[in-house]
Structure 1
Amino acid sequence: MPPRPPLRQLTRLYTLSYQLPKFHHGRLPPPARSISTTPAPRVKARVPLHRNTFIKIRFTEADVPSLPFWTKHTIPPFVPNGEVSPTQCLEACKRYVHLAIENKPNWQQRNLSPTAASPTTRDGTIPFFTLHYAAITLLLFAQTPGNRFLALHILTTGTTAGYAPSALTLARLGHKTNNLENPQFAHAKESLAKLLASPDRSSSSSEYRPDTLTLAALVQIATNTRAGTDRATQLLEDASKAYSAAGENAVWHWRARGVLALSRLLLERKQTARARAILSAAVKELDDPEICFQYAMLLPRSDPQRRVLIQRAAVSGVEEAAREMAKETLESLEEEKGLSAWERKARGVIADEWAGIAGDKAIL
């Protein structure tokens, strides 16, 4: 059976924080009004959030983007190997919105398929395989409140139906925005706990076992307690074991996040050798700039690989790496004697450029 929708596109969700206030409270902030002597209208009381906040219908059929939107965004690497087509995403959303607004009894159970492993089904039900891709596309690229409400509605429906990718997506979104303990993410929190406690090796959710353990560990780390970090360390080690045990077909979409989290926990416990070994293996297997930087910082200054890795991370946008490159470039001016005035000026310019990448100093 082919793998289900990957979670790696969710790394893009780490940059969505600036958008989240627009929808995670279930409403947009009020528009700014010009100064006026006219008495302000009475503001309606905010509706309290509850576990079904994301299941409320706050969209219409007009909130389904047209085909050009899907054609632009449902492409590799976001949708690998053309697993779903733009037309399939569009049609799945149209059907879903019609059914949700119509809201006939048990429409989810009769019309949606959480077990399909392809974008189409023989019985005519709508596969969450397709709906999940559509929901993430809407979260990442759509611009209107209706688009985002639709995406959250789909993810919540998938979560309540036991579709692992949607449950993990919604839980990750709640965790990232510090809202996982809030009522509107109750379904996601419960589903994450269920996936964690009862891994069914015969079901498709077992494909996501390493990612489930990783996300649960990140949630534990956020508690900022010794018990939480102890539990997180165990969960991350279990994720690594689950990944290794799965063999050549293993999938761990959030492996880089797990490696970084585990290495930091080990460093806090002064287990530097273990952290270095984990990062070293990950540098060879993963093309992740943050891992390159963290590993480089554990190498001695005399190791030629250290600067190569830091520079690779810096040019990939890791601010700490760029900051380190600026620092080391300036230090070289003090350490190396006999530099010409031209060489000193050139290195100073390079240091300023690295600082600019880090956001510390304007390049000009």
Structure 2
Amino acid sequence: MDPIHKKLLMAAFTILCFSFTAILLSLVCLWKIHRKKKKNNSEKLLTQADDQSLEDAEKGVALSPSSFFAKCNSLSTLSLKGFASFIDYKMIEKATKNFDKINILDESGFKLVYKAILDNGTEVAVKKVFCLTKGIQREFENEVKLLSRFHHSNVISSYGYSIENETGFVVYELMHNGSLETQLHGPSRGSQLSWHRRLKIALDIARGLQYLNELCIPPIIHRNLKPSTILLDSNFNAKISDFGMAAVVAGVARKAGLVEVRSLPVFPGILTDMSDVYAFGVILLELVLGRKALEMSEVSGQECLARGVLTDRHVMPNFVDPVIRGTMSVNHLNQVGVIAYLCLEEEPKYRPLITDILNSLVPLVPVGLGGTLIV
């Protein structure tokens, strides 16, 4: 082959390679543009669907059960997976006398709690949850799933759940003396809570926390422990309730008091298993001083004052709730003060384990109330 033909052949081959590369790059670009456009359209449709759902909720548009299950698809699988018993809505409606206002026990945010009586005469409480946002839907789902797992005398028992339109219902045992918050800060101002009864309540909470934090598999962190989530039965036995914000510990990575938690999407990250201990310390503080934690933190320096009082045996008796002041052993009062003080340590690693707290409280509670103290 002469040199001229050889050069022409090489030039043609080079042009062909460039053309093929250009066509390939063009196809890749077109594919990316098409994919991006498809993704944007999908996101737009999802946004429009969410906006329509919010608009329906704001307008009060009633949703059929199938439509609600489609919007809250995570809830629709509860009965299929056997997490809890499904209760017919008509039964709940009848038990609450069509949700008569006279049967309302508590009201807060998107929740209402009713007293109800089932056909067999069993008294129960019905929590009505308005699932208007995804966050509330997740909390409802979380509580239903967790309550079905618990079997402990100091954790609230659930009978089942129901769903009607955009509203969820949790049916659980009725606690005749309401919440600890109502008993401490309501009309009676703690008059029904003697010193030993308050320690009994603290001991019950500690036992419930020990069950959740250490004995459940996998362990549970409550994350919302406060007087309003502690319920009291007719004998003032305390039970932990309200598990919408609770988190399930995913592993056993307990180092320096830390655990990795795989919780709801709205509660991500690393949590400490000492967070419930801190909350317990706040409750113990309220039981002793008879004042709300919020009141103690509103005034600058008041919270620090409260912690200082807990370890000063000369000053502490003067700050005790007037209802119980002078009715307890000073030594026992000081021991409770030290427990609360340690629970409120800023550094989680310095707080005591809930089992240690429980063991410290048992000797301070009379035998008749579940402790070992002989009065």
TM-score between both structures, scaled by the size of structure 1: 0.26
Question: Which has more strand, going by share of residues?
Answer: 2
TM-score between both structures, scaled by the size of structure 2: 0.26
Question: Which has more helix, going by share of residues?
Answer: 1
